[in-house]
Chains A and B, each alone.
With several copies, the nearest count.
Chain A
Amino acid sequence: MIISNEVNELAKRIEATLFVHGDPMVLEELAKLLGRTKTEIRQAAENLDQALISSALTLVWHGETLQLATKRQFTQDVEALVKDAVSRDLSRAAAETLAVVSYRGPLSRPEIDYIRGVNSSYTLRNLLIRGLILRSPDPKNNRSYLYQISADFLKFLGLNRQEQLPQYFDFKKRLEEALKSETKIENQ
């Protein structure tokens, strides 16, 4: 396999920065650090994505963040090296809650409870501890939190982007139609 990859300088600077940063890095922060605009960063990152085709590494895009990770075909080689790895078991309640958060998030706990018809606080706490979901204060209600999936969750499933979730666009659309008729979400 012969691949031509003319990688521009900015793409490489991004690669070096993400390599050292390790964690997902916000595009905005990357732009500030490298003295470029967010658009330039995004473009160069696409470029880097292409260049990584022949590498063991890949870019994980999650929301406004970027992270460097190993490709899925190397899982078995590297997982033994990882300390305190996330347990691979997903209980049914956990998988169901993750499905709701993946396709409907960011959303609040009452909204998750409404869809599942059951109190999700224990399951959410468990997923937070495992780092599979993130929570942030609800900008509309500072006494409440919004939940969304994390980059770690995508990596856990072996995915690079949220859009790679099974049936992502298809399901999101159908879901919105189904919920259109339903406006009464009871807030506690």
Chain B
Amino acid sequence: MVYKVKTGKFEGPFGALLDMVEEKKLAINEISLAEVCQDYLNYLKSQINMPRAETASFLTVGATLMLIKSRSLIPSFELTEEEEESIEELEMKLKLLKEFRVLAKNFEYLAKAKQSLFSRQALLGYNFGFLPPDKINIEFLREIQKRLIDSFPVPDLLPQKTLAKIITIEQKARDIISRIQSRIFGTLDKIISAKNKSELIVGFLAILELIKQGFLDVEQKNLFGEVEIKKN
């Protein structure tokens, strides 16, 4: 009988994204990332049982993909320095993970090759009768055992808060549709009216979804102007 630690079945946002890029046999760059953006968002929406802590990091990567996708849809779309950096970092991390995956494959291959080396058990064949160590008594044993029990890992409860304020993609999409209907048109900033980064991400996701489905039309009057969104 072997005891196995439960492992999370989620491989994280980079792992999932890399799967999508590799499935399409694409190189890692902005073009390929814009291409898999929709797959990624669909994946995200399908993961209803995703741990909360994971969801936050998935959304952060989703936001970066949204930026990439937005720029590919609206060429004049301006990005801040910070946003440019987040795109670069995403690409770098995907490339790095890809390298490690190649090495991991080598390990899996070696492990299956049945070529393990074996050593001897320590001090095999020696027997000393009874050699009690100093400083061991009942109270010491109890104390050690208690400390071990107290240190047992407890399930991660911490990330509960993280998502408390994040609205689901569907909720935000409904909210935006109703606001668009009442105002006919507005700027991106006003429509999303995000209170924090997470909400902004969800708002972005919603807008993109609506553009794709033909509900909204995006217009940028001049090069550095605000992006206007109209109901079609």
A residues neighboring B (CB under 8 Å):
19-23, 58, 60, 67-73, 75-76, 78-79, 82, 85-96, 98-100, 102-103, 108, 110-111, 113-119, 121-123, 125-126, 129-132, 140-141, 144, 150, 152-160, 165-167, 171, 174-175, 178-179, 181-187
Contact = CB atoms under 8 A, between A and B. Distances in A.
A82 B106 CA distance: 25
Most chain A CB within 10 A, of B5, B118, B135, B142, is at B118
A99 B104 contact: yes
Contact of A159 (B104, B122, B124, B138): B138
Most chain B CB within 10 A, of A60, A73, A82, is at A82
A150 B130 contact: yes
Interface in B138-163: 138-142, 144-146, 148-149, 152-153
A115 B97 contact: yes
A178 B96 contact: yes
A116 B107 contact: no
Given A129-B3, A155-B117, A96 B100 contact: yes
Interface stretch (B9-17, B20-28, B32-40, B192-200): B9-17
Nearest to B89: A182
A86 to B, nearest CB: 5
B123 interface: yes
A171 B103 contact: yes
A22 B124 contact: yes
Nearest to B127: A129
B114 A90 contact: no
Nearest to B159: A119
Contacts of B122: 21-23, 85, 122, 125-126
B2 A110 contact: yes
Contacts of B103: 99, 102-103, 165-167, 171
Contacts of B14: 116-118
Interface in B97-132: 97, 99-101, 103-108, 110-132
Contacts of A154: 117
B48 interface: no
B2 A85 contact: no
A73 to B, nearest CB: 8
B166 to A, nearest CB: 18
Contacts of B53: 119
A71 B140 CA distance: 41
A175 B92 CA distance: 11
Contacts of B153: 117, 121, 125
B165 interface: no
Nearest to A85: B123
B54 interface: yes
